[in-house]
Structure 1
Amino acid sequence: MNKLSKEDIEKKLLRFPDWEYYDDALHSEFEFENFKDCFSAMSRIAFECEALNHHPDWSNTYNILTVSLSTHSAKGVTEKDFKLAEAIEAIVEPDDE
């Protein structure tokens, strides 16, 4: 998987307003009602990570989930990171339909 250019990343980020690009990675932070809801989201995200064979650098403190995405083998952000960001968004902020 090829590393994306800064211009390509910034263009793609227009679809991901809750994410920022710095230090060769995509970063976001999500706040939940409580620890249980945060951990539940992390568990659901973990299944998506396994399905995509792509794993984030992440942590949580009580109800805050902090996520950093980069493709280590490419030494930067690739399409794989945006696919995982999209999956994370669908879990933490589902559409109300």
Structure 2
Amino acid sequence: MVDTNHISPSKGEEAEALAQQTTSLVDQGRWRICNDGKGLERQFKFKTFKATWDFMNAVAAECKKQRHHPEWSNVYNKTHIRWTTHDPEGLSSKDTFMARFCDDKGAEYGEREPDGSEESAGDGAGSLQAGDCCVGKKGDGSA
């Protein structure tokens, strides 16, 4: 259970309700609290770049509807997403809503399970490694 002391809610947010929403994302999901309790972040991995891009397009379309946008980065088949509210600063129900939306879209676009090394791939700054996108197939002589 995420304690209200572990999050920094945006002004006007109810801390207990926000802690419950965050708990379902962190304890039963793959999100982690970041930015001193002001945000949520996680990495998504898909089979192909196209699936990754389609996922990002679906998230972007919902961002436009919700008028709320992530801090994110993409390398090949991986996307790192951080949700935080800038005005008023802190974690908000918009962040938890969009994190849940990302989870749903990730499943819809065939998100792959992490292999163990990926959950720690975010260094707090959203960096990603290129991974297998720049490596030739075995035996084809490419690099």
- TM-score normalized by the length of structure 2: 0.59
Q: Secondary structure at the match of 1:58?
A: strand
RMSD: 1.8
Q: Secondary structure at the match of 1:54?
A: coil
User: Cα offset for 1:18?
Assistant: 1.2
Question: Residues 1-97 of structure 1: matches in 2 within 5 Å?
Answer: 2-3=12-13, 5=15, 9-16=18-25, 17-23=29-35, 24-94=38-108
Q: Is the 8 A contact 1:20 1:27 kept in 2?
A: yes
Runs of at least 5 residues in structure 2 that lack an aligned partner in the other structure: 1-10, 109-143
User: Cα offset for 1:12?
Assistant: 2.2
Aligned residues: percent identity? 27
Structure having the larger proportion of residues in helix: 1
CA–CA separation in structure 2 for the residues paired with 1:3 and 1:93? 28
Which has the larger Rg?
Answer: 2
User: Cα offset for 1:2?
Assistant: 2.7
CA–CA separation in structure 1 for the residues paired with 2:44 and 2:63? 17
Q: Secondary structure at the match of 1:33?
A: coil
Letter in 1 for 2:90: G
Deviations 1:31-88 (A, max 9, x none): 0001111011000110010010000001111111100001100211101111111211
Q: What is the number of residues matched between the two proteins?
A: 93
Runs of at least 5 residues in structure 1 that lack an aligned partner in the other structure: none
